[in-house]
Structure 1
Amino acid sequence: MSFVTPGAASANDLKNDRDLVSLPDDSISSLDFSTQGDYLAVGSWDNKVRLYEVNQNLESQGKALYEHQGPVLSVHWSPDGTKVASGGVDRAGRVFDVATGQAAQMAAHDAPIKDVRFVNVPNAQGPILATASWDKTLKYWDLRQQSPIATVNLPERAYSMDTRSNLLVVATAERHIAIIDLNNPGAIFKSIISPLKLQTRVVSCFPSANGYAVGSIEGRCSIQYVDEKQQKDSFSFKCHRDQVSQGARPEFNVFALNSISFHPQYGTFATCGADGTFHYWDKESRHRLKFFPNLGAPVVASAFNSKGTIFAYAISYDWSKGYQFNRQDYPKTVRLHMVKDEDIKPRPRKR
């Protein structure tokens, strides 16, 4: 299918965006805003997790920093805003306690940890951390114990994971997608093959927790519903591609879809790509809401704050061509964008 596509935004729409202070020294991998205030966690390839406070004028202040022993691949705030979890190439899952300013290892795998998420598990007495790894396992950790409370064998190496309410989705190598109902966290509820033909890059759950979006390296996104009764509403669309020739069979350069972030109030979403752009979309009306100009380098990660008024996006090398193509002069920045209601608000659905 194709989206209704309005004209692109101009550079004027980004002129007031602000860079974070005290930026990482290497590529950025992950961004996450706390739900309890405008605090942003940033994970990067310089082995560090940085925490910032952001205000409504897009001014930022560094608040804390802690380290892994290898590149950090994922960061996630706890629901109560008191802790930040992170995972990385050092195969360790760490949790930073905001009150004490201390970080401790809470999880371990046999291969790099690709994603970490705090999850809602029935009858849990404390916060539960889920970690998905290239060792083809998903593990759950009670922060008061040293051993995992459950382990789920995944069909392949974990590439992306997200959760909302009782829904947990893990996308792996070979295009597998494992869907887990957190009422029964130790088992895969449903396993499917991605409807996208090439390698999965990112998965992101709807705020309504009844489905998820998946993006691939081929500049495509798929909207998928979990309930069989809603499967008719699932669809895929093209994005993050440049047309390079005209004619009956036009040619395109296609780019990886690196990040999908849902707006917390409206359920609309942003996609960020290796083409250096980000877009706002409305899946209900199948309408592209806003197309922002090229930033000159891949947009690798993104996050909305809890009110949906600030959109953070990271610009850096995405490692898609290997280490030899990384350069010292490559951008390494996280920018803050004020979200206009008219840019992100859903469009009336056509009947």
Structure 2
Amino acid sequence: MDPNQFNQATGDMEISQPPTDSVSEVAFSPKANFLAASSWDNEVRIWEIQNNGTSVGKAAFSHQGPALCCAWSQDGTKVASGGIDKAGRMMDIGTGQTSQIAQHDAAIRCIKFVEAENASPIVATAGWDKMLKYWDLRQQSPIGTVNLPERAYAMDCNNPLLVVATAERKVVVFDMANPTTPFETVDSPLKWQTRTVSCFTKKDGYAIGSIEGRVGIQYVDQKQKEKAFSFKCHRVNKGLEAYVHSVNSISHHPGYGTFATASNDGSFIFWDKDARQKLNPHPDVGGPILSTAFNGDGSLFAYALGYDWAQGYKGNTGSIKNTIMLHAVTEQDVKPKSK
């Protein structure tokens, strides 16, 4: 397929010059239609998405091993990333300068800008060294460190809510007013390993996804905890057998607060948690979806296709195309249905 050609089945557009290996995370700038992607080919790439859906490569920078995560600053001027090389790195989009901003004793799996609006940038990194660290970009050493119960697998922040999900199904919730003392540490409501976590737009809870085709809806306020529930998704029944697929990514729509789940079954589905209903499923796009993101105004949805390295290196036959697709979001996708 030529770059920027439509996927005939879905009408979605392919990004130009996609990564050469699986994408670990896609992230949109909150301020403009710039998309960043970290990849197992060690690179972090940035594209500008034009109004007609075509994309132009703008910049790239490298880690000394697979890049596992990426995030934009709230003002849209910086992209930060973490990788197997135990380093957090950052590019200033305006100057093109790159620098190392963080260091762990093992791979950095998660990175987010966590400052409140209009405050100076603070980056949080969480790693396989069971550490959460906060970095003020004006200083060399971390301004705060937290011992996590296990290796970090997923993290999201919508200030003042920060949620870190670790191995052994632990979930550590922080109030950024007190960033180095956990607000609560709980077990995931799901019985299997956590793959992804995403904070609600109202900042009152989070959605968590597991390898076993389930999503848990959790609230942090004691008065709302009884509203918590879990549901099954991304399961395919073939005859007497049920094929259960990992929920790899959950992304919340910035306007409506509804969310998308994406999976190794090659589909993405939009949901309304408040009405507890499916809004709009999309057909199989031809390979595992590894990461997803909405742009700042919720009009575009990016999803990365490629081999899921969690399946182990022996399973990678090279038959799965590594790329990123752009989906134009419709009201039918994300608008809650009237009751």
Q: TM-score range by the shorter chain?
A: over 0.9
User: TM-score of the superposition, structure 2-length normalised?
Assistant: 0.96
After TM superposition, give the deviation of residue 232 of structure 1 in Å.
1.6
Distance 1:335 1:202 in 2: 20
Q: Which residue of 1 aligns with 2:3?
A: none
Q: What TM-score do you get using the length of structure 1 for normalisation?
A: 0.92
Cα drift, residue 170 of structure 1: 0.1
Counterpart Cα distance in 2 of 1:69 and 1:210: 38
Runs of 5+ in structure 1 lacking a partner? 1-10
Structure 2 counterpart of 1:129: 123
SS of the residue aligned with 2:283? Answer: coil
Answer whether contact 1:116 1:132 (CA < 8 A) is retained: yes
> Is the 1:14–1:337 Cα contact (8 Å) retained in structure 2?
no
Work out whether 1:226 is the aligned partner of 2:216: no
In 2: Cα distance, 1:214 partner to 1:88 partner: 22
Q: Counterpart of 1:27?
A: 22
How far did residue 125 of structure 1 move? Answer: 6.3
Tell me, yes or no, if the aligned pair for 2:266 and 2:286 is still in contact at 8 Å.
yes
Q: For 1:108-119, what aligned pairs fall within 5 Å after superposition?
A: 108-119=103-114
Q: Which residue of 1 aligns with 2:320?
A: 330
Q: Report sequence identity in percent.
A: 53
Aligned to 2:232: 238
For residues 193-226 of structure 1, the C-alpha deviation after alignment (integer angstroms, 9 at most, x for no partner) is: 0010010110110111110000000000011010
Mapped partners of 2:204, 2:239: distance in 1: 39
Name the aligned partner's letter for residue 123 of structure 2: L
Task: Could you tell me which runs of 5 or more consecutive residues in structure 2 were left unpaired when the two chains were aligned.
Answer: 1-5
Letter in 2 for 1:222: G
**Is contact 1:201-1:256 (8 Å) kept?**
yes
Choose which of 68, 71, 77 in structure 2 pairs with 1:76: 71
Aligned length: 334
Matches within 5 A, 1:23-62: 23-62=18-57
In 2, Cα distance between the equivalents of 1:39 and 1:78? 12
Shift of 1:12: 9.0
Inter-partner Cα distance in structure 2 for 1:267 and 1:77 = 20
Q: What displacement does 1:348 show?
A: 2.2
- Which letter maps to 1:226? V
Which amino acid is the alignment partner of residue 82 of structure 2?
A: G
Say if 1:40 and 1:51, in contact at 8 Å, map to a contact too: yes
1:269 aligns with 2:259: yes
Which residue in the other structure is 1:161 paired with?
155
Q: Is the 8 A contact 2:116 2:159 kept in 1?
A: no
CA–CA distance in structure 1, aligned partners of residues 94 and 179 of structure 2: 29
Q: Determine helix, strand or coil for the equivalent of 2:310.
A: coil
Instruction: Name the structure 2 match of 1:91.
Output: 86
Pick one of 12, 19, 40 that aligns with 1:17.
12
Paired position in structure 2 for 1:293? 283
Equivalent residue for 2:299? Answer: 309
Tell me the secondary structure at the aligned position of residue 320 of structure 1: helix
Report how far residue 16 of structure 1 moved: 2.0
Deviation at 1:330, TM superposition (A): 1.9
In 2, the alpha carbon distance for the partners of 1:153 and 1:313 equals: 32
Amino acid at match of 2:144: A
| SS of residue in 1 equivalent to 2:324 | strand
